[in-house]
């Protein structure tokens, strides 16, 4: 069934529009997540109330969208647009960005469906076959970028080399780290540790040109991710990264983050490698997690982070 748009001050379907300076228009998948739509409605409300410059496009069934509208003051309802669709809410959110009706999207739905839809509708960056999900992990020393955390579970050497480039650019642009250190996650720091892929890749990473003056810092273990002293970026496959991230999330929920100066890990990751700002939340995300994902998407859009990362990689690889 096609979408039915109900606008309250936003552009009509098919029209490209630009928000006012400082605004961020975020498309939200109302049916994404294990406990959707209730937690997504909760998260959307939290985000909308916390950020008066935020505009939301709610993609999903009418009753879920109406629950958000009913809980807002009349003045705040003007910041809400709804796309009424009972199915493929991920595709609807991606389409809103592709057609210029939203600046970014947030979904806690199926990761594979989100990645495929975003790559198809928004387009991949030149030379990149598989986009990667990059998460920020708090460490005892601060924070690091971990990727991939769920997009590609069976990568080859080229894919992991791209992860190194993407992570280095992310750390430089978003965290403003000069010459980021890039580590490869494996089961030991001695040469030759790990599976075939992990044994073969270090030789390539040593000579791989990386953006922002980044350098390959060698092999790292899971404990190094918690300590955060060996690398600013940790590269791995989507299967291992997802397992590690969920384990850290649970551990930090029970004991707190490894430093009082760092926040718990956000249950959201940025999809790097597509021409748009796409934030994927944990399927088990609660309302505050959805709100944090929306805030992350808005912040990345306002700072022009995805475009800056793409430009940095384009310049580093000599692509006009």
Task: Output the pLDDT for position 14.
Answer: 35
Q: Which residue has the tokens 């975003």?
A: 118
* For residue 317, pLDDT beyond 80: no
Residue range 131-178, pLDDT digits in tens: 999 999 999 999 999 999 999 999 999 999 999 999 999 999 999 999
C-alpha of 124 from chain center: 15
Q: What is the CA radius of gyration of the chain?
A: 19
As a whole number of angstroms, the distance between CA 180 and CA 187 comes to 22
Task: Report the distance separating Cα 91 and Cα 232, nearest Å.
Answer: 33
221-270 pLDDT per residue, tens: 999 999 999 999 999 999 999 999 999 988 888 888 887 777 666 689 99
Kindly list the structural domains of the chain, giving each domain's residue range(s) and its CATH number in brackets, ordered by start: 4-121 (3.40.718.10), 129-266 (3.40.718.10)
pTM: 0.89
Q: For the purposes of burial, counting CB atoms within 10 Å of the CB of 74, is it exposed (0-12), middle (13-18) or buried (19 or more)?
A: exposed
29 neighbors 93 (Cβ within 8 angstroms): yes
């Amino acid at each position: 069934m096609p979408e039915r748009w109900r606008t309250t001050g936003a552009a009509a379907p098919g029209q490209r529009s630009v928000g006012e300076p400082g605004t961020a228009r975020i498309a939200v998948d109302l049916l994404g997540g294990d406990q959707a739509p209730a937690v997504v409605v909760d998260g959307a409300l939290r985000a909308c109330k916390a950020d008066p410059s935020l505009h939301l496009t709610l993609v999903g069934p009418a009753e879920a969208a109406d629950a958000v509208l009913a809980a807002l003051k009349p003045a705040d309802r003007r910041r809400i647009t709804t796309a009424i669709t009972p199915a493929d809410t991920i595709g609807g959110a991606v389409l809103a960005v592709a057609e210029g009706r939203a600046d970014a999207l947030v979904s806690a739905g199926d990761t594979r469906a989100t990645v495929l839809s975003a790559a198809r509708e928004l387009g991949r960056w030149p030379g990149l076959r598989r986009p990667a999900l990059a998460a920020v992990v708090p460490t005892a020393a601060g924070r690091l970028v971990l990727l991939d955390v769920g997009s590609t579970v069976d990568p080859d050497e080229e894919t992991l080399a791209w992860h190194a480039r993407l992570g280095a650019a992310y750390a430089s642009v978003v965290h403003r780290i000069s010459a980021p250190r890039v580590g490869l996650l494996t089961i030991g720091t001695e040469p030759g540790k790990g599976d075939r892929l992990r044994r073969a890749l270090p030789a390539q990473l040593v000579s791989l040109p990386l953006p922002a003056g980044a350098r390959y810092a060698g092999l790292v273990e899971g404990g190094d991710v918690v300590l955060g002293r060996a690398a600013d970026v940790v590269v791995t496959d989507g299967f291992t990264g997802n397992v590690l991230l969920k384990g850290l999330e649970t551990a930090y929920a029970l004991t707190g983050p490894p430093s009082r100066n760092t926040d718990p890990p956000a249950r959201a990751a940025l999809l790097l490698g597509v021409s748009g700002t796409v934030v994927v939340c944990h399927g088990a995300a609660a309302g505050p997690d959805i709100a944090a994902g929306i805030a992350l998407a808005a912040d990345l859009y306002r700072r022009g982070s995805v475009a800056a990362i793409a430009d940095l990689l384009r310049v580093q690889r000599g692509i006009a």
